[in-house]
Amino acid sequence: MPKKSRKLRPLFTVGCLALGAWGGYVVACKYFAIVAKGMPELWIQPARYSEADKLWLKVAFAIIGALMGFVIERLAFQQINASRAKWAKMTPLERAFVFAGIPLGLLLTVLIRNIVSTPDWLTVALAIVICYLSVVALESVKEQANFYFPSRTPGSAAAVHHYRPKLLDTNVIIDGRIADICRAGFVEGTIYVPKFILDELQQIADSSDSLKRARGRRGLEILNQMQKEMDLQVPDMPEEESNEDVDARLVRLARQVDGAIITNDYNLNKVAGLQGVDVLNVNELANALKPVVLPGEEMRVTIIKEGKEKEQGIGYLDDGTMIVVEGGRRRLDETLTVNVTSVLQTVQGKMIFAKIKEEDGGSSRTSGGSVDEGIRPYSGGRIRRKTR
């Protein structure tokens, strides 16, 4: 909630309570006037109330009116905030439609009033309904209006607001890969860092634990790097103070601004998805960019350590994908040609199972002789499909 809204909220609440109490008092006075005179046509007979009874009933009506005013204030303030957020997202052309719809509705109301004589209260209600319908009708033709009166040009401010805002969480900032992703141009639009995310980074950077302190300082350096090198906007978004945890506040803020969360947290990804918030997971992007390996393909890999099972050796591709090589335990520190047998996709990433190619019987150390032409050692690049 903006600061101005928080300052005006108490005054708005007090005003609604006072109007509600005053309205209840007026209703009580009208009731006593009707009861004192009586209305035989409505089967209301004259009655007398003592002054004490009148006082208590007026107080009761005033309290009921104040409660109704409180309820109306809650509903009205929610609608005001929703309308304000919708207004902020409108383009100048859409705002012009809103302003044009109101006088159009008033003009139609005057025409109808001249044709059909209606009471004043019905005329006011009719004006509100017709103005609303006029605004909706003009908004429905905004696509056609954008065709004849384009309001977005490449590089303009309106074009920037066309993209949904992106909100960063603490983990993805500390991770650091988001800077490279933004530098490559895969993230478009404004990136927002809420104040409570910056506060959490500062707390981590001021921690007594040396590891946490280093991670927090790394996150702050990443933000400075994104601002200076890539000229990205990382503004501080005001957000209502809350006792919720950081992830819950981030999800709630993303829903309010209709934005997407950039994270590498598995739990935050699931929680945000259940609440209808779009999530851009850096780990999913990294897994999607890994090369597709099919059974039967050949590659060069260096065996760097022993596996858990008997006779297994472990190697890695350049992107960090683990390769489990059958029979590679006795070929440590050798670069071998292997055939892929199967691929296993897990939550942590992808694992490739392979076996040593039969023709590669001797040692192929990288420090020794040359490797086969067209095969890059320890690159993880696929060289050719195995022919059968």
Q: Which of 173, 207, 240, 167 is nearest to 4 (CA)?
A: 240
Q: Where are the domains of the chain?
A: 3-143, 163-287, 291-388
138 contact partners, CB below 8 Å, separation of at least 6: 97, 98, 100, 101, 104
Contact 46/32 with Cβ under 8 angstroms?
no
Contact 352/322 with Cβ under 8 angstroms?
yes
Lookup: tokens for 252: 């709630």
| Rounded Cα distance, 220 and 200, in Å | 11
Strand partners, 316: 322
> How many angstroms from the chain centroid is the CA of residue 28?
49
Q: What is the pLDDT of residues 120-172, one digit of tens each?
A: 777 888 888 888 788 777 766 665 555 445 544 444 444 444 578 888 899 89
The CATH code that applies to domain 163-287 is: 3.40.50.1010
Q: What is the pLDDT of residues 23-33, one digit of tens each?
A: 888 888 887 77
Q: Which of 305, 276, 293, 307 is nearest to 338 (CA)?
A: 293
5 to 2, 66, 84, 291: CA distances (angstroms):
5, 22, 11, 51
Q: What is the pLDDT of residues 240-277, one digit of tens each?
A: 556 778 888 888 888 888 889 999 888 888 888 888 88
Q: What percent of the chain has pLDDT over 90?
A: 3
Q: Which fold has domain 291-388?
A: OB fold (Dihydrolipoamide Acetyltransferase, E2P) (2.40.50)
**Are β-strands 260-263 and 279-281 bridged in parallel, bridged antiparallel, or unpaired?**
parallel
DSSP state of 297: B
| Rounded Cα distance, 293 and 319, in Å | 13
Q: Which DSSP helix (H) or strand (E) runs through 338? A: strand 335-345
* Phi, psi dihedrals of residue 315, rounded to the nearest 5°: -135, 170
